[in-house]
């Protein structure tokens, strides 16, 4: 059977203006514009051949567009996380239901926490950011859940940003785009590293999918670096979602199905 890429997304909540914020000051979010940007993001995934399952908005859950944090989808199972921010924990229920047709589900029970935005999978290793949202107890529970499937789980120190994937994301199978101020590149020995342009601290979050990188239009200088290294980049305007401290990986869960 041919396996295609599937992405779970969720419509922008009308209450996104009340989102969690850690490193950013609150600015008004134009919800109509955010929804329009989100539609373009979904279209971009579809144009890359990804089958998009777009869940309805959750009016009472401001951050629920950022589905990445609610689950870690592996080839064998999907781990439903226990997000670090209590306000975000109810988001997991509907994400679990959306994943149920595709994977056997495992649920984190706590006391530890992990946000999916902290989990960077490189082949059979899950690198988990020790951020304000994910902790050592969460890593211990994740280990118990995924080690039986041959995965290694390791904690990575991050500082200055929300999640590990604010600081480092894959842009090719062997290449990481990194903000070296927020994460230590020596933690990723053996990987090719592309550093962001220092004038664009938020530029390390890129979504590598189907051989291309979906990338915020705002980071032109870093985009140039990626293209110079032979990476195919497709840009999206994600400026309203960025005000909610979200970026391109956060808005989808992409997996083979
Ligand atoms: C939060 O603080 O939880 C949201 N406002 C932003 C979450 C972004 N998610 C991600 O980077 N994976």
* Residue of minimum CA distance from atom 3 in ligand 1: 20
Q: Is 114 in the pocket of ligand 1 (CB under 6 A)?
A: no
- At 87 the pLDDT is 98
pLDDT computed for residue 174 by the predictor: 97
Q: What is the Cα–Cα distance from 188 to 190, expressed in whole angstroms?
A: 6
Instruction: Give me the pLDDT at residue 116, please.
Output: 98
Predicted structure pTM score: 0.98
For ligand 1, the distance from its centroid to the CA atom of residue 246, given in whole angstroms, is 5
Mean pLDDT by groups of 10 residues along the chain of 257 residues: 86 98 98 98 98 98 98 98 98 98 98 98 98 98 98 98 98 98 97 98 97 98 98 98 98 97
> What does each C-alpha distance from 21 to 159, 166, 209, 241 come to in angstroms?
16, 14, 27, 12
pLDDT number for residue 161? 98
**Would the CB of 251 count as within 6 Å of ligand 1?**
no
How many CA atoms lie less than 13 Å away from 64 in the CB half-sphere?
22
Whose CA is closest to 169, among 221, 216, 237? 216
In degrees, rounded to 5, the angle at the alpha carbon of residue 76 between the alpha carbons of residues 75 and 81 is 90
List, by residue number, the catalytic residues: 163, 250
39 Cα–ligand 1 center, Å: 18
Q: Whose CA is nearest to atom 5 of ligand 1?
A: 20
pLDDT for position 2: 58
* 63 Cα: distance to centroid of ligand 1 (angstroms): 7
What pLDDT is recorded for position 111? 98
């Amino acid at each position: 059977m041919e396996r295609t890429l599937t992405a779970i997304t969720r419509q922008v909540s009308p209450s996104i203006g009340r989102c969690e914020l850690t490193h950013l000051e609150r600015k008004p979010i134009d919800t109509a514009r955010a929804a329009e940007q989100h539609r373009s993001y979904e279209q971009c995934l579809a144009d890359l051949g990804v089958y998009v399952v777009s869940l309805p908005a959750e009016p009472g859950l401001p951050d629920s567009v950022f589905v990445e944090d609610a689950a870690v989808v592996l080839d064998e199972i999907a781990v439903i996380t226990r997000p670090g921010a209590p306000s975000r924990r109810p988001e997991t229920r509907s994400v679990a239901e959306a994943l149920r047709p595709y994977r056997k589900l495992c649920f984190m029970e706590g006391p530890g926490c992990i946000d999916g935005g902290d989990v960077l999978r490189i082949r059979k290793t899950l690198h988990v950011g020790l951020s304000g949202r994910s902790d050592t107890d969460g890593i211990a529970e994740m280990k118990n859940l995924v080690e039986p499937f041959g995965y290694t789980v390791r904690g990575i120190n991050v500082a200055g940003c929300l999640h590990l994937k604010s600081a480092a994301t894959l842009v090719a199978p062997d290449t990481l785009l990194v903000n070296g101020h927020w994460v230590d590149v020596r933690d990723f020995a053996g990987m090719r590293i592309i550093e962001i342009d220092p004038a664009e601290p938020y530029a390390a979050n890129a979504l590598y999918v189907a051989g291309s990188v979906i990338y915020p239009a705002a980071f032109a200088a870093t985009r140039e670096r990626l293209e110079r290294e032979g990476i195919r980049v497709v840009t999206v305007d994600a400026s309203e979602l960025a005000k909610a401290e979200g970026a391109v990986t956060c808005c989808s869960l992409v997996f083979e199905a």
